[in-house]
């Protein structure tokens, strides 16, 4: 079955620039893989190489046992022979055909017999809730409706591999939310393997079974979304995934009153040696605030901070804090009543501190330090403000 495998894949241009560099990636059969990263990191190029729309300049691409690209062996299978469904940002619907005819087109091309064709068109339209527009032309549809027609057209063909490049980018917030749920449902129902390109971390977190975070042509981390969120492998991943983003504080080994020095001495105390540079990360929801310092559990990192601004969203409160020389963000899901200007104690359970070395990579020794220590885990099961 279609397990997609990229080995040592690169794409470089005559200018010497690399869009993708020495990429190894396995997309398991039936996975929903999101390629996530900032603009220009090589996501689209990777997807286009899987589709056969671009040829790698090095490496091999396989689907199941079939070799689709091999620079060394001179193998290249063109897109139409790869049997993959593609949906790109621009929907590329035929303007002179109705919705139903657009969806039917691919089936006609594949010489699917009439009655089966009708069935497939009908069920694709029902799945995407566009049956009411069957007789309309693309120009009579909204962007979101057109996007759904493009998806229906691809699904009617029932490909084993679906390749989607920012397929929800042109939708408004509400429709995007609906379509995320719809795409997830379609994936679960069809059992197909999906590779989706997005720069929207929320999209990746909500839909994917696997996320590959890309940066400057390489994969920084590949894993299930919660693993990426809970154990980011690098400062880049930590900063890119999460909203509001993780608080990241460079450590200062040379002392002083700053937050970086305070954190460095805590890390030194726990590990028994100075950290030698690097960064400490804290998710906003892991940063706890206590009005009374006596409420803070023993063994955790703590210091005082001044409340600067409180931003209620309705279901949560984002609190902007001045902590020594640094701005921090905390998020709490309990009503936050302290006023701007008030001083509180901020604290973080040791296991909620993410430690990255001077090379920007996660420090595995810090995660090991935590194991088996009774005071390492979150001392308050419910968390939040006390």
Ligand X SMILES: Nc1ncnc2c1ncn2[C@@H]1O[C@H](COP(=O)(O)OP(=O)(O)OP(=O)(O)O)[C@@H](O)[C@H]1O
Binding site for ligand X (CB under 6 A): 13, 15, 17, 19, 37, 39-45, 199
- With the C-alpha atoms ordered 382, 383, 384, 386, is the resulting torsion angle positive or negative? positive
Cα angle for residues 240, 241, 243 (degrees, 5° grid):
105
Sorted by sequence, the CB contacts under 8 Å of residue 350 that are 6+ apart come out as 270, 299, 300, 301, 370, 373, 375, 376
Shortest Å, Cβ 245 to ligand X:
19
Instruction: Provide, rounded to whole angstroms, the least separation between the CB of residue 205 and ligand X.
Output: 17
- Closer by beta carbon to ligand X, 17 or else 73: 17
- Contact yes or no for 153/124 (Cβ under 8 A): yes
Comparing CB distances to ligand X, the nearer of 15 and 313 is: 15
Shortest separation between residue 92's beta carbon and ligand X, angstroms: 17
Q: Answer whether 1's CB lies under 8 Å from 29's CB.
A: yes
**C-beta of 196: minimal distance to ligand X in Å?**
12
Shortest CB 345 distance to ligand X, Å: 42
Could you give the CA distance from residue 203 to residue 123 in angstroms, rounded to a whole number?
A: 26
Rank residues 84 and 125 by Cβ distance to ligand X and give the closer one.
Answer: 84
Q: Would you say 43 or 363 has its CB closer to ligand X?
A: 43
The smaller minimum CB distance to ligand X, of residues 44 and 102, is found at: 44
Residues 6+ apart with CB under 8 A from 317: 310, 311, 331, 332, 333, 334, 335, 336
Pair 162, 33: CB distance under 8 Å: no
- Cβ at position 43, least distance to ligand X in Å: 4
**Separation of alpha carbons 64 and 66, rounded Å:** 6
Q: Which is nearer to ligand X, 46 or 102 (CB)?
A: 46
> Do residues 68 and 229 touch, judged by C-beta distance below 8 A?
no
Question: What is the closest distance, in whole angstroms, from the C-beta atom of residue 42 to ligand X in the complex?
Answer: 4
* Nearer of residues 37 and 242 to ligand X, judged by Cβ: 37
Would you call 46 helix, strand, or coil by DSSP? helix
């Amino acid at each position: 079955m279609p397990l997609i495998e990229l080995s040592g894949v690169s794409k470089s241009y005559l200018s010497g620039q690399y869009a993708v560099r020495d990429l190894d990636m396995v997309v398991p059969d039936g996975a929903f893989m999101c390629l996530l990263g900032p603009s220009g990191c090589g996501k689209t190029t990777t997807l286009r190489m899987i589709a056969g729309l671009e040829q790698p300049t090095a490496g091999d691409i396989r689907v199941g046992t079939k070799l689709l690209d091999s620079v060394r062996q001179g193998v290249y299978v063109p897109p139409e022979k790869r049997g993959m469904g593609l949906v790109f940002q621009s929907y590329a619907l035929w303007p002179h055909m109705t919705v139903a005819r657009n969806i039917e087109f691919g089936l006609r091309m594949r010489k699917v017999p009439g009655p089966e064709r009708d069935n497939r068109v009908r069920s694709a339209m029902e799945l995407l809730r566009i049956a009411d527009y069957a007789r309309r032309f693309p120009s009579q549809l909204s962007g979101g409706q057109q996007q759904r027609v493009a998806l229906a057209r691809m699904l009617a063909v029932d490909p084993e591999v679906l390749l989607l490049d920012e397929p929800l980018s042109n939708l408004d917030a509400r429709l995007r939310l609906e379509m995320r749920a719809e795409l997830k449902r379609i994936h679960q129902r069809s059992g197909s393997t999906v590779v989706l390109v997005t720069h929207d971390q929320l999209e990746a977190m909500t839909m994917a079974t696997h996320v590959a975070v890309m940066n400057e042509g390489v994969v920084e981390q590949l894993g299930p979304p919660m693993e990426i969120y809970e154990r980011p492998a690098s400062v880049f991943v930590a900063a890119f995934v999460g909203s509001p983003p993780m608080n990241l504080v460079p450590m200062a080994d040379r002392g002083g009153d700053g937050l970086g020095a305070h954190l460095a001495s805590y890390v030194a105390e726990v590990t028994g040696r100075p950290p030698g540079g690097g960064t400490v990360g804290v998710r906003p929801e892991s940063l706890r605030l206590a009005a009374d310092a006596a409420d803070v559990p023993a063994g955790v990192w703590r210091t005082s901070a001044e409340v600067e601004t409180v931003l209620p969203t309705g279901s949560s409160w984002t609190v902007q804090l001045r902590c020594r020389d640094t701005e921090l963000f905390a998020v709490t899901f309990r009503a936050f009543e302290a006023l701007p200007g008030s001083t509180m104690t901020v604290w973080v359970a040791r296991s909620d501190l993410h430690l990255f070395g001077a090379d920007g990579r996660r420090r595995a020794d810090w995660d090991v330090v935590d194991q088996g220590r009774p005071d390492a885990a979150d001392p308050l099961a419910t968390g939040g403000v006390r």
